[in-house]
Each structure stands twice: as C-alpha cells, then as structure tokens.
C-alpha cells in the first residue's frame, strides 16, 4: 500500500517548495485534476525503494471562514484520505493565529500529524522551534525545504510508521533474493492486478460488474479492502487477476452508497498499485482534460495501460468514425497502448480487454538479457550515431535491465548526460519496435563513466 502524505498550512510557509522536493520531478508532475480538485496538486515520490504519494492541499487562507470552508471542502477530503499530515509553519514568521486554528483541527482529527517548522536556514533551530511547541502537536520537525535540509529525515520518520520498514535497512544478497521471492509469490497469488480508473460517470462500476459477471469468471472472497478501493481476486481461463475497483461497486446497496464515489487519492493509489490500468473514457463526451491528466499520471507511474472507450453503443457509423479518428489522433503520443471500443452496459468488447491486459502485463514484466539489449544498442548506433559533443562523440557501450513494470533499460557509456532528448526517443522507439513492447511505457536510463 502506498502511503499518502498531505501537506497543509497557510500560504507562503513553503508547501510547494516541499512538494517539489518530495516528488520526483521538479515540474510538479502530475495531475491538477481540475474541476475535481480545485488547486490541489498530486505527486509521487520515492525514498530508497519506498513509494509514497504527496498531496499539496493548497493554501489555507487563514481566516476562520476560510478554514471552515476548507474543512467542508475538498481539502478536508484530502486530509481525511491521507495517512499522514505534514502541517507546515514558517519559522521566520513565528506562530500565527491561523496556525493555531489549523492545529486545532488536526488535533481533533486524530491523524498522524507532524508539525514541520520550515525555513530554519540561518536560524537557531532550538529557539525557532520553541515557539511552536505550544501548538500541542507531539511530532515536531525542523527543516529548510528550499535547501533540502531535514527533508529526508522527516520523510523517513513518516514512512517508518508504515509497514515495509525492513526495506530501509541495507539487505544482504540472500535477504534480497528472499525478498524477491516473497514479492514474486505475492504477485503470483494476486495474479495480474488491474486498476479500473476514470472520471466519474464514465462507466467504471458498470464495467467492473460486467467483467466479473462474464462467463468463466470465478470471483473469490475479497482478500481485504484498503481505504475505499476494493481488491477483488478472480480467475478467468486459469489466469489469476485482482481487480482494483475504485468505484466501490461491491459496496453499493450498503451504507456507503451515498458517500462520494469518486476520489482522486483512491484513483492515484489504484494506479500505483496496479500492474495494468484500464483507463475508461466516455465516447459520448470524448477526451477531456481530466482524462489526459489521469493518463499522464499513469505514464509517470510507469504503469501498463489499456484504453477503453466506453458507451460505444447507440452511436451511428458516422459518429463512430469521427470519434475514432479524433481519439487516435489525440492519443498519438501514447501509440503503444491498445484502444478498445466497448459498451460496458451491453457487454460488447469487454471480453477482448483481457487479451490486451495480458499482452501489456507480459511486456511490462519481460526480461531481456544484457547480450540481447547490447546487441540492439549496437545496431541502433550503427544505424544512427549519437551526436558529437564539443568534438567528442558520445559513446554508448552496453545495456542491461534495471527493472520491470515498467521495463527499465540502463545504458552505460561516456558523456551520457549529454544524450539529447531526440536521440533518447530514437533509442526508445528502436527498443520498443525490436522487442515488440506493447502496452507499457519503458524507461531508458543512462549511466556515465565520465
Ligand atoms: P506555499 O505557498 O506554502 O506553497 O509556499 P512556497 O513553497 O511557495 O514558498 C513561499 C516562499 O518561501 C518562497 O519564496 C520560497 O522560496 C520560500 N521558502 C520555502 N522554503 C524555504 C526555506 O526552507 N527557507 C527559506 N529561507 N525560504 C523558503
Ligand atoms: P462510474 O461513475 O464511472 O462508476 O460510472 P457508472 O458505471 O456508474 O455509469 C454511469 C452511467 O453511465 C450510468 O447511468 C450507466 O448506466 C451509464 N453507462 C455505463 N456504461 C455504459 C455504456 O456502455 N453505454 C451506455 N449507453 N451507458 C453506460
């Protein structure tokens, strides 16, 4: 389970600065799932080999009204869905009434909350922290987000509360092998994990029901539920799967029905936790920004993906042709993903999804030998030499695998930091074509010896 960390605090205390530190990319990765989230930002981070999700809940204005509004709104949902809350304050500004109000809310909320005193650079830490102890929060940490000081220690502490502690410890080769075996056994038991994601009302619940209701599908007792996504193990034609149901179908008719069905956190977690994501789109509405944000998050996460354009029923031939043309054009940037035109309501096309899911999964989990990859690299270089840098040609020597789901191909050479984006794309396309990689993003990483 990927822990979710929410950042709260008044404006200007350094939330976005910390967010950028905590997430992988500087240009704030992900999804501003506009309309659903107002101005919240979501990002993924990693410490060692532990993943986490970060939500920047956006500035809380500081006056009572603003805080009340926040509590009622989406930001509160984010805090509620988070596993840990980092409450930022500004050491330079000192304690403010707005800070006190936010603290009061967090105390009532009974969350794992950290008071994070930011901008400690150039200040006497003890004196700066002293002011804030009266907020009555047990965990107080000092950082300088802009300089990265204290940030790792902080995240280590936060993540320590969650299982998987052992991963922080340096493992021996034997232990690593054992871990790998456990992971493989777990993966085997769960089969292919399929996340069903999409905006509200695109037909996720209908699709989940349809997939599980198919002939030859044997649904087992739920292995367990996590937060609100429901993990449904089943078997079809002797292949094991676990469906990650973000729409909470199985809960319908029970108490939860009235509760807001769609949740961004749930969706992002399902993506992180899946092997293959089925992104559901609505043919009647076409591709909208939120779909593209979700897609970009899927790609950033490196997940394999199958796109299903739902509600394909009830459209005449002209409309179908037009929608198809537009979709394929606009999704040109992810031309490795299969697109299915389906009707979850009537069931047409649903069974065919499995073939693409399996194909994407196989590709995402593939392993290629160093020999094979190096040979492909050499061929690619013969075809097109890497460019010269200051009179010296970039040398790429050999390639090997660095991981799977997504497949990572590590290329060693000289001046590798100078490899232009266009050449990286050329290599990526070549590997993809030659290795017949369909349905999953791949990553090319360079290691230099300069
Ligand atoms: P947000 O509104 O809470 O997201 O705050 P920002 O991340 O935009 O930061 C507000 C200002 O504080 C910016 O000018 C940052 O450069 C500055 N800032 C953030 N972190 C630090 C820090 O660790 N030390 C100092 N001195 N300034 C910081
Ligand atoms: P979710 O919010 O993504 O889980 O969407 P639902 O599964 O609840 O579906 C939203 C609405 O779209 C419901 O009224 C469904 O009956 C309808 N719907 C779902 N799939 C289809 C489809 O394939 N064709 C048509 N015409 N309507 C569909």
Question: What is the tens place of the pLDDT at every residue in 209-252?
Answer: 999 887 667 777 654 444 567 888 899 999 999 999 887 654 44
Residue 53 pairs in a beta bridge with 4, 44
pLDDT in tens, 391-414: 889 999 999 999 999 999 999 999
Q: Do 402 and 264 share a structural domain?
A: no
Q: Do 232 and 128 share a structural domain?
A: no
What integer is the mean pLDDT of 282-295?
A: 90
Confidence grade of residue 377 (pLDDT, cut at 50, 70, 90)? very high
CA distance 190 to 235: 10
Task: Tell me the binding residues for GTP.
Answer: 9-16, 56-60, 118-121, 198-205, 245-249, 310-313
Residue 153, domain member (yes or no): yes
Q: Do 104 and 132 share a structural domain?
A: yes
Domains of the chain: total:
3
Does 16 sit in the ligand 1 pocket, CB within 6 Å? yes
Which numbered atom of ligand 2 lies nearest the CA of 346? Answer: 23
The H or E element that residue 397 is part of is: strand 395-403
Q: At what angle do helices 64-72 and 74-81 cross, to 10 degrees?
A: 60
Q: Do 393 and 348 share a structural domain?
A: no
Q: Do 156 and 8 share a structural domain?
A: yes
C-beta atoms surrounding 338 within 10 Å: 17
Residue 276 pairs in a beta bridge with 194, 304
CA distance 422 to 366: 25
Q: Domain with 80 in it: what CATH number? A: 3.40.50.300
Domain boundary residue among 365, 399, 420? 365
Which of 28, 24, 4 is closest to 16 using CA atoms?
28
Confidence grade of residue 184 (pLDDT, cut at 50, 70, 90)? confident
Instruction: Check pLDDT > 90 for residue 62.
Output: no
Q: Do 302 and 205 share a structural domain?
A: yes
Which position has the token pair 């502490």?
157
- 86: Cβ–Cβ under 8 A, 6 or more apart, which residues? 5, 6, 7, 8, 18, 113, 114, 116, 154, 158
Name the residue of 203, 263, 282 to mutate for ligand 2: max ligand atoms within 8 A of Cβ.
203
Give 88 Cα–ligand 1 centroid separation in angstroms.
11
Does 247 sit in the ligand 2 pocket, CB within 6 Å? yes
Q: Do 155 and 57 share a structural domain?
A: yes
Domain boundary residue among 334, 365, 396? 365
Q: Do 292 and 278 share a structural domain?
A: yes
Name the residue of 7, 13, 17 to mutate for ligand 1: max ligand atoms within 8 A of Cβ.
17
Does 348 sit in the ligand 2 pocket, CB within 6 Å? no
- Domain of 198, in residue numbers: 180-365
CA distance 368 to 161: 37
DSSP one-letter code for 412: E
Q: Do 420 and 286 share a structural domain?
A: no
Does 197 sit in the ligand 2 pocket, CB within 6 Å? no
Does 117 sit in the ligand 1 pocket, CB within 6 Å? no
Q: Can you give the pLDDT at residue 111?
A: 67
Pairing of strands 224-226, 239-245: unpaired
Residue 169, domain member (yes or no): no
Question: What is the dihedral angle through the alpha carbons of 28, 33, 34, 40, rounded to the nearest 10 degrees?
Answer: -60
Which numbered atom of ligand 1 lies nearest the CA of 56? Answer: 4
Which position has the token pair 């704030």?
28
Q: Do 38 and 120 share a structural domain?
A: yes
Task: Tell me the binding residues.
Answer: 9-16, 56-60, 118-121, 198-205, 245-249, 310-313
Ligand nearest to the CA of 312: 2
Residue 427, domain member (yes or no): yes
Share of the chain above pLDDT 90, in %: 47
CA-proximal residue: ligand 1, atom 26 (nearest): 119
């Amino acid at each position: 389970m990927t822990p979710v960390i929410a950042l709260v605090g008044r404006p200007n205390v350094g939330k976005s600065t910390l967010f950028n530190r905590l997430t992988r990319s500087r240009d704030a990765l992900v999804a501003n799932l506009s309309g659903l989230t107002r101005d919240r930002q979501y990002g993924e981070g990693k410490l060692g080999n532990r993943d986490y999700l970060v939500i920047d809940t956006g500035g809380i204005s500081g006056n009572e009204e603003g805080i009340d509004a926040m509590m009622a709104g989406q930001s509160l949902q984010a805090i509620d869905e988070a596993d840990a809350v980092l409450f930022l304050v500004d050491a330079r500004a000192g304690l403010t009434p707005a800070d006190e109000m936010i603290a009061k809310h967090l105390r009532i909320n009974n969350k794992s909350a950290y008071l994070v005193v930011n901008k400690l650079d150039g200040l006497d830490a003890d004196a700066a922290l002293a002011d804030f102890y009266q907020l009555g929060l047990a965990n107080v940490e000092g950082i300088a987000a802009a300089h990265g000081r204290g940030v790792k220690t902080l995240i280590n502490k936060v993540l320590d509360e969650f299982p998987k502690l052992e991963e922080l410890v340096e493992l021996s080769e034997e232990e690593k092998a054992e871990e790998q075996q456990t992971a493989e056994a777990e993966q085997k038991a769960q089969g292919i994990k399929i996340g069903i994601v999409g905006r509200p009302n695109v037909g996720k619940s209908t699709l989940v029901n349809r997939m599980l209701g198919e002939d030859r599908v044997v649904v087992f007792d739920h292995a367990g539920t996590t937060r609100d996504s429901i993990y449904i193990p089943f078997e079809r034609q002797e292949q094991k799967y676990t469906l990650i149901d973000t729409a909470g179908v199985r809960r319908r008719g029970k108490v939860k029905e009235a509760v807001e069905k769609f949740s961004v956190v749930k969706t992002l977690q399902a993506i992180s936790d899946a092997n293959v994501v089925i992104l559901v789109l609505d043919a009647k509405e076409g591709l909208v920004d939120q779909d593209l944000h979700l897609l970009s998050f899927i790609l950033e996460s490196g997940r394999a993906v199958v796109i299903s354009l739902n509600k394909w029923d009830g459209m005449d031939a002209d409309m179908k042709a037009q929608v198809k043309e537009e979709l394929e054009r606009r999704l040109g940037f992810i031309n490795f993903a299969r697109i299915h035109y389906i009707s979850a309501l009537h069931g047409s096309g649903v069974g065919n999804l499995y073939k693409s899911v399996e194909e994407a999964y196989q590709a995402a989990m593939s392993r290629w030998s160093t020999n094979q990859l190096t040979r492909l690299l050499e061929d690619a270089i013969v075809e097109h030499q890497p460019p010269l840098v200051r009179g010296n040609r970039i040398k790429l020597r050999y390639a090997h695998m660095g991981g799977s789901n997504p497949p990572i191909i590590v290329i060693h050479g000289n001046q590798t930091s100078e490899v232009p984006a266009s050449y990286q794309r050329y290599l990526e396309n070549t590997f993809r074509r030659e290795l017949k990689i369909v349905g999953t993003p791949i990553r090319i990483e360079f290691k230099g010896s300069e």
